[in-house]
């Protein structure tokens, strides 16, 4: 719930109506768009939400989405299917279709997290990110409604591209949170993991076409802080394909999620 006592916009925009067993109807809204195109993390959250309606295990571990065709703003149908179940894992598939065309197919692995202490070892530390007050807010951009809902602050090292000052290291890092406060759950983490502009913008500027082909998020822990520290890095561009590896941490140094995207890369002709 938000301050007014109504459901948070994120939850409203994930609402599903059951049409029959394993078959749901929902809406892809315009509240989470990038230049009019629905954000991939939001679409992944919508698919994961559908799978969790049926899964006997209610915590998200891994979700991988393949974006087959561009989604449009409007009604969508989602069909889910159980692939395998065990004592530890519950595995599901979800297919989102619009106008009888399959647009996104996702696989989800779900678990029931216990409270018992388990082995924990981090051989890597949280990324070095400038203090929140030193970071640069994403500017207002028409039709980029995603940034009306998610507050993204870029580390100054990565923000020069916003004013045409390009860098060399293909990395976006900084802080993110929902603008309207909402407790984090496994599904909301999927959306935060896709909140930052593509790292290639740092060196090339926003002159590239970078549509996601496949996106995978491994959720490790729920955040214990409002602001989340994020880092996304591209190391290889080849054959018009790039990868983007991401880390999401909370402010207390707890690993929240790891992600990987594979996307197309083309310079736009100006």
Using 50, 70 and 90 to split pLDDT, how confident is the model at 1? Answer: low
Enter the tokens of residue 216: 């995978």
pLDDT for residue 61 is more than 80: yes
242-264, pLDDT tens digit by residue? 999 999 999 999 999 999 999 99
Query: Please, what is the Cα angle at 225 between 160 and 179, to 5 degrees?
Result: 60
- Identical fold for domains 9-111 and 135-267, yes or no, is yes
Annotation: CATH topology of 135-267 = Porin (2.40.160)
Q: Are strands 37-38 and 33-34 parallel, antiparallel or unpaired?
A: antiparallel
Residue spans of beta strands (DSSP E) within 6-162: 17-20, 23-28, 33-34, 37-38, 59-67, 74-85, 90-98, 101-111, 136-137, 150-154
Phi first, then psi: give them for residue 186, nearest 5 degrees. Answer: -60, -35
Q: What is the mean pLDDT of the segment spanning 203-207?
A: 90
pLDDT for residue 4 is more than 70: no
Is the Cβ–Cβ distance between 108 and 76 less than 8 Å?
Answer: no
pTM given for the model: 0.95
Domain ranges of the chain: 9-111, 135-267
- The CATH number for 9-111, chosen from 2.60.120.260, 2.40.160.210, 3.40.50.2300, 3.40.50.300, is 2.40.160.210
């Amino acid at each position: 719930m938000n301050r007014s006592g109504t459901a948070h916009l994120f939850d409203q925009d994930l609402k599903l109506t059951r049409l029959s067993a394993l078959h749901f109807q929902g809406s892809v809204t315009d509240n989470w768009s990038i230049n009019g195109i629905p954000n991939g993390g939001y679409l992944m959250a919508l698919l994961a939400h559908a799978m969790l309606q049926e899964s006997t295990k209610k915590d998200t571990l891994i979700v991988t989405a393949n974006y087959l065709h561009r989604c449009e703003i409007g009604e969508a149908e989602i069909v889910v299917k159980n692939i395998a179940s065990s004592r530890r894992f519950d595995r599901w598939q979800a297919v989102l279709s619009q106008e009888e065309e399959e647009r996104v197919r996702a696989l989800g692995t779900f678990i029931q997290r216990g409270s018992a202490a388990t082995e924990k070892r981090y051989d890597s530390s949280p990324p070095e990110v400038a203090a929140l007050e030193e970071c640069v807010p994403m500017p207002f951009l028409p039709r980029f409604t995603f940034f009306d809902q998610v507050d993204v602050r870029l580390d100054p090292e990565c923000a020069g591209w916003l004013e045409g000052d390009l860098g060399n290291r293909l990395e976006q890092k900084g802080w993110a949170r929902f603008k309207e406060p909402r407790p984090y759950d496994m599904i909301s983490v999927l959306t935060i993991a896709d909140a930052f502009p593509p790292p290639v913008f740092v060196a090339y500027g926003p002159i590239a076409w970078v549509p996601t082909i496949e996106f995978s998020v491994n959720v490790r822990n729920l955040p214990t802080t409002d602001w989340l520290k994020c880092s996304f890095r591209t190391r290889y561009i080849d054959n018009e394909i790039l990868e983007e590896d991401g880390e999401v941490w909370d402010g207390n140094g707890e690993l929240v999620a790891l992600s990987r995207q594979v996307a197309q890369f083309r310079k736009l002709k100006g």
